[in-house]
Every structure is written in structure tokens, then in C-alpha cells.
Structure 1
Amino acid sequence: MPRPPARIYDPWVSKPSTVDRAFEAALYDTEHTTLDTGASLLASDPGADAELDRRGQEFVAAAWRRGWQPADVVRLVRRELEDAHIRLLAALIRAQVPNDRPRGPRWQAQLDDLPTGTPPRTDRFSHATTVLELYRLLLKLPALEPLDEAADPVGGPARPESRMLTRIRALLAKAEATGFPEEAEALSAKAQELMARHSIDEALLASRTPDARNAPGACRIGVEPPYEQAKAVLLDAVATANHCRAVWNEPFAFSTVVGFEADLEVVELLHTSLLVQAQTAMTRAEAAQRAGGRKRTKTFRQSFLAAYAHRIGTRLTAAARTPVTEDLLPVLASREVAVTARLDRMFPETTTTRLRGVTDEAGWVEGAEAADRAQMAPRRPLR
């Protein structure tokens, strides 16, 4: 665990603050770490509250310098700690914003999605314990690959969502909500067709208006338990079919997707929609299995989602092979080279992993059939 530089305190000049002594007891002393001692010190000194909040904001800023983003930290805290810690973290992030540098639209969207409401205040000892538990987690965050999202120009208008993207979003929402598989198929197919057109339109526009900012970017998409391997495979398939690349970080439950902004947007939309559709189909399949007197378990669900991801990947890959006109080939090729170069810079070393836990034949069959029902119609030739 990182430890701050040693401080020498002259008893005639200064002495450690309550917060310093609490941190020394609860955060930095790995051999005799005790939260109770640190929490007792903080609980007994209300005058230390302001410094404690300020130090928390410093921990948040340090996480940003190490490549973390708000959604990443919230995701980790949700998995490792409790709701009280999440609300405390959200309050610290918001308090740190005025001292932060300008960020891009994805960052702002993550700030907007932070949990609302104030952290529950119980007794001072319990609150101090919550604070120290959160700070201990923030302190040990490792460095991540920086995403380097560009901020909008100062005073410039935010880029409005295109009408095409609005239509795609609406179609996928309807596909998720309908109870009729045939309707969901038609809606998903139409959404995929619009995604292809949207990507090409953006590529052509960028090629005609060169801009230094028109370069591949990256975003992180949560890939959380349960069945995270199958979800990561699904995201990889969606990313590849839409001119992006995905790298899964299993320990921290996310994948980093690299690509041009227009493609990143549709990858997020389609992946989220397919997960919702897969969950709905899996629930329906499990109900049918139970009605037939067959008890299904975790292996059924793991196999179901693995088959779903595999089948979707196969069909999306086939759709991506649709020929394009010759004038588009140089544009698409140059973008693919740029995406690969960005990926290699961010992740010079990657490994592959095998999908585990796929042992239920009925789950595999049901998952493959569900993927067919969520079919993506073959893309028509792009012009």
C-alpha cells in the first residue's frame, strides 16, 4: 500500500494533526492497522472534519491522476464496500470538481450519473469508520491506462446528439421493452442498419474535414459479475463488428473499448441493449425449464450467456463482411490502422483467456436460440 513521505514533526513547532494520527493508525501502518483506533481519534475531534474532507478530495484527485474515472471508482466501491461508502464517494467527487481541470463530455456524463443524496450520518464513530474504509480503498488504487478524453472548447456549445443516434436509441429501447420476439427482431435489425450508416457517415465527414481532434478515443464499459466472462465476450463481439477493439480488465470489472467516437457510442448502446435482451430471454428460458420439471442452476445461466455471446459474435462478424464501395475502402482502412495503433500504445501487452463454466447443453442451446431471436439483419451494401 502506498505510504506518504515521512514527516518530521518538531514538538516546538508543530505536531501531527488528528487526521494525520488517524491515518497513521488506520491507513499507513500495514503491520498494526486498526480502523477502530483511527475512527476513535476522528470521532473525538469535530474540529478535524474539514481537514478530513479536504484529504478525501485529495485522494479523489490522485485517483484521476492515476487514470481512474468517476464511473470506474464508483463501480469498484459498489463491489467492495457498502451504499454508505458510495454516497460518501459521490459527495467527495462533486466537491472536488471545482478544483479539477476541464474534462470531456463522457466525464461530465459520469458526474451526472453519480448517486444523489447525502451520506447517512449516524454516530461519529461509525461515520469515521466509513470514511477510513473508503480512503483505504482509494489509497491503494493502481495506475490505469489513461483515456485522455479531450475537453470541449471553453465556451463552445456541447455537441448535440445526432438525429440518427436518437433514432437508434429509441429503436433499441423498444426492442428491450417489447414482449414479442418478432417485433424485437425487427427493431434490432433496423437499429443495426442505422448504426452502420451512422458509422460510415461519420467516417466520410471526418475524412472531408481533417481535424487533429479526429482521432481514436477510448472509453470503459462495466463488465460486472455474475457471468462476466460471457459479457466480456459479447462486448468484444459488438466492438469488433463496429470498428472498435475491446480489452477486458477482469480484476476491476470493465473493458476498455478503443475506437472513433461515433463507433464508441453505438457500441455502448448495442451492448447494453443486447444484455437486456439476453437477460429477458434467459429468464423466460429458465421459467420454461422449471415448468418442464428440470431444475437449472448457475451452470445453465453461464452456458446460456456464453452461447448467446458466441452466436451474436458469429452473426455480427458475418454482417461486418458486407462489401463496401471502393471509395470507402481507403477511409475505413485508415481508421482501422489508427484504432489498432491507439490500442497498441495503450496495451502493449495483452493475454487471451478461455471461457470457463460452459457445461450445460440445454443452456447453450437456449442461448444460441435467443441470439437468433435478437438477430442483426445483414447490412445492405454501404454507399
Structure 2
Amino acid sequence: MVDRACEAALYGDGDAGLDAGASVLVGDGGQWGGVGRELLGRGEAYVRQAWERGWQPADVLRLVGRDLGERHLRITRDLIAAEARWYARLPERWTDAEVWWAADGEYGEALVRREKSDRFSLATAVLEVFRLLIRLPSIEAVGPLPGDPVGDALEHAHLEPRMLGRIRALLAKAEATNFPDEAEALSAKAQELMARHTVDEALLAASGKVPAQVPVACRIGVKAPYEEAKAVLLDAVATANRCRAVWNSAFEFSTVVGFESDLEAVELLYTSLLVQGTAAMTRAEAAQRSGGRKRTKTFRQSFLLAYASRLGQRLAETAEHTAAEAPDNLPALVARDVAVTSRADEMFPRTTTTRLRGATDHAGWEDGTAAADRAHMATRRSSLPR
């Protein structure tokens, strides 16, 4: 039944095939338990194929959320959890999805109860997820596959827990405060801690006192709206922390290449600055509206581009100042930069640039620049590697 349903539903473009496939699956209600078990097995195979094409759970979930819906997201998490349970150890940043149903033969009925929906609608949703999974193209792999013994053997240096706690606390305070000067000082201190950690780690590696590390990669979501400005901001944060970012606009993510602890710093800082920038934009927009202006979209686009552009300059200044405090550290940092650049070029031998949409709202640009000065972060870039 599942074979016939998939044959009908997965290889066409319209809804007719989906309807036909779902009808096959629910044609005999007495077999729904067995159908649920077989759908799980089929889904496990499809997500494994996605991993082998370079995808990771967060990437797939981001795409399902964009192209399908919340129910499809929950079903996809079920498939990811079902596939992940077979491995003794998962790669870093893989998934926290867990199997919540008692037995695979009970999944179908458990799904009906959870979703409070009829079987035909659920069968259609599962087939829609399958259709998306089998059509995923191959992309650059950013880490080992689950179960890969080579991946299990890799060790990476992470941010030291106490420092990680301090950085998180500083950024949380920066996000919460209503005083721009305080947010600036807190964010700047967080970036300074990150830069110092990079210097210390580079010196340790150069001295041979710690095992040699190699650059790795991770993907960070860059979702619409205003994705260009967000990509510029992420690029600026990555550059300031001695990483390289390559934006994939079609799939709403940037791949960031760097050493593990630097990638952790980039994720933390980018997320915090995006929160700060969004809050500042909302406040600035409210002030503009109170004055009778209504060009919301152009204002936001211009605001975020200016925010990202100005922040890049300030982030770079902080990182350069920290590195320049001890000129003898420069060779170790250069070696680190060379390793990251080589790894990025190996992963992306053919990147292109894209022209950004212009910032056409003067007030938005001015307010965004002012907000960046207050938040203390990013770089102005006319193009992004893509």
C-alpha cells in the first residue's frame, strides 16, 4: 500500500497524485497501524538520503517550515527522531527531537490523537513531506554523518563554559536593557571576550600545548523578510570572529566556516544583534509613524542594511584592537586565518556575488546607523559571497 501511495504521490507536481496516494493509505482503516509503521520506515530512509546529500536536520526543518506548514514540521521532526535513534552518538548540532510514541506500530493512531485530525489529511501531510525530502538537491556537507566513525573520532575545542556563561550573560543584558549606551558597552565587552579567546586559542595551538584543531563549518538560518540585511550582518559577525560566511539565498541559510569555538561565538553574537536590531527598528518605526510616515517596508529595509553595515565597521575595530594589543600574536592569528580561508575555498570553489537592493529610505538609513552605533557592531559590504 505504501509503495503504491508513494508511486502515485511523490513524482508529480499537482494535488491529484497526493489525493490518490492518501486515498490508498486510508482505503482500509483496519490497516492504519501497519501503514503508520511503514511510513515511519520510509521516512527514515528519505531523511537519511537527505543527510547523505549534505543536509542536516535544521536545514530540512527550515525548508519544511517555509514551504509547508506547522503540522508538516511536527511530522518531519518525528521522522528525524525515528532515524536518529539508531545511532549511539550523533554529530554536534544535530537534533534534539525524540521518539514520543510507544511503538512504531502505534505511531499512526498516536499521530491522529496528537494532531486531532482525520487520517486522510495526515496521510496527505506525510506524503507532502516525503515529496519535499526526495527532491532535495545535493549541497555542501558541513560535517560528518550520524554513525560515521571518522566523525566520532573528531574533537573540537569549544568555548570554555565559564567564558560562555559570561558572554551569554552580557548579551542577555544587552538585549534586555532600554538604555542604548548600556547595550553598546555590554555587546562590545562580549565581542572583546570572544576576540581574546580566539587569540588565546591560536597561541595554544601554535605552541603545541593542545591537540591540533581544524576548521569546521555550520549553517545558520537567514530567513525572510529582509534576508539580505540579515546576511550582511551575519557576514560581518563572522568576519570579525575570523570566520568566513557564504550565503545561500535559495535555501535561507549561510554556511559559516571557522574553528569550533569561533563558530559558537558567531552564533551567539549574531542572534543577539539581530534581536537588538529588530527591537531598535520597531522603536524607530513607531516614532516615524507617529510623525505621519507610512513607508514601512522601505524604512525597515534601509534601517537593517544601515544597522548591519555600521555594525560591521565597529565589530572589525574591536577585533583589530584586541589583536593589535600584542603584535607577537600576529603569526598565530594569520595561520588560523589561512586555515579558515583554505577550508572555505575547498568547500566553495565557485562562489558568486550578488548586488544588494538599495537603501532608499534616508530616515531608515539614519536611524539604522544610529542604532548600530548604540549596539556597537558589523561591516559595510557591497556584495556577499554566494
**Residues 31, 128 of structure 1: alpha-carbon distance in 2 compared, 3 angstrom cutoff:** closer
Query: Deviation digits for residues 293-341 of structure 1, max 9, x if unmatched?
Result: 2223101000000000111112223333332434311111111111011
In structure 2, C-alpha distance between the alignment counterparts of 1:321 and 1:279, rounded to whole Å: 27
Give the secondary structure class of the aligned counterpart of 1:321: helix
SS in 2 for 1:112: coil
8 Å CA contact 1:87, 1:116 repeated in 2: no
CA contact (8 A) 1:104 1:151 kept: yes
Amino acid of the structure 2 residue aligned with 1:225: A
Partner of 2:233: 234
Mapped to 1, the partners of 2:13 and 2:193 lie a distance apart of 55
- Shift of the 98–123 alpha-carbon distance from structure 1 to 2, 3 Å rule, reads same
Q: How much has 1:180 moved relative to structure 2?
A: 1.3
Q: Identify the residue that residue 40 of structure 1 maps to in structure 2.
A: 23
- Which residue identity does 2:92 align to in structure 1? P
- Structure 2: distance between partners of 1:223 and 1:184: 23
Cα distance, 1:203–1:114 mapped onto 2, change above 3 Å: farther
Corresponding residue of 1:139 = 134
- 1:126 is the counterpart of 2:125: no
Residue 52 of structure 1: how far off its partner (Å): 1.5
Cα contact 1:307–1:368 (8 A) shared by 2: yes
Q: Which segment is superposed worse, 202-211 or 164-173?
A: 202-211
Q: Does 1:25 align with 2:8?
A: yes
Instruction: Answer yes or no: is the 8 Å Cα contact 1:286–1:296 preserved in 2.
Output: no
Which position in structure 2 is the counterpart of 1:69?
56
Q: Report the residue type matching 1:112 in the other structure.
A: D
Tell me which moved more, 358-367 or 311-320. Answer: 311-320
Give the RMSD, CA atoms, in angstroms.
2.6
Where structure 1 has 5 or more consecutive residues not aligned to the other structure, the ranges are 1-17, 378-383
Name the aligned partner's letter for residue 123 of structure 2.
A
Query: What is the correspondence of 1:251-290 to structure 2 with a 5 Å cutoff?
Result: 251-290=250-289
CA distance in 2, matches of 1:330, 1:359: 43
Alignment match, 2:314: 315
Instruction: Indicate the SS of the match to 1:353.
Output: strand
Instruction: Name stretches of at least 5 consecutive residues in structure 2 with no aligned partner.
Output: 102-110, 145-149, 379-386
Match for residue 306 of structure 1?
305
Letter in 2 for 1:184: A
**Residue 96 (structure 2) aligns with:** 112
Q: Partner residue of 1:359?
A: 360
Residue 368 of structure 1 corresponds to: 369
Query: Aligned in 2, Cα 1:94/1:336: closer, same or farther, shift over 3 Å?
Result: same
Distance 1:376-1:310 versus aligned 2 partners, 3 A rule: closer
1:211 and 1:192, CA in 2 relative to 1: closer, same or farther beyond 3 A? closer
Structure 1 window deviating more from structure 2 (359-368 vs 204-213): it is 204-213
User: 1:292 aligned to 2:319?
Assistant: no
**2:383 corresponds to:** none
TM-aligned CA deviation for residue 211 of structure 1: 6.5
Match of 2:67 among 80, 85, 88: 80
Distance 1:215 1:304 in 2: 37
TM-score (ref. length: structure 2): 0.86
Per-residue deviation at 1:162?
2.3
Shift in CA distance, 164/212, structure 1 to aligned 2, threshold 3 Å? closer
Whole-Å separation in 2 of the counterparts to 1:113 and 1:37: 31
Q: Paired residue for 1:339?
A: 340
Tell me if the contact between 2:204 and 2:210 (Cα under 8 Å) persists in the aligned partners.
no
Higher alpha-carbon deviation: 351-360 or 117-126: 117-126
Residue 40 of structure 2 is aligned to residue 90 of structure 1: no
1:97-246 aligned at under 5 Å gives the runs 97-100=84-87, 102-107=89-94, 111-112=95-96, 120-149=115-144, 151=151, 161-209=160-208, 214-246=213-245
Shift of the 236–114 alpha-carbon distance from structure 1 to 2, 3 Å rule, reads farther
Alpha carbons of 1:31 and 1:310: their partners in 2 closer, same or farther (altered >3 Å)? closer
Q: Distance in 1 between matches of 2:237 and 2:159?
A: 24
> TM-score if structure 1 supplies the norm length?
0.87
Query: Could you tell me how far apart the structure 2 residues matched to 1:128 and 1:183 are?
Result: 53
8 Å contact from structure 1 (residues 285, 366) kept in 2: yes
Aligned length: 356
Deviations 1:333-364 (A, max 9, x none): 11111101100110000011111142111101
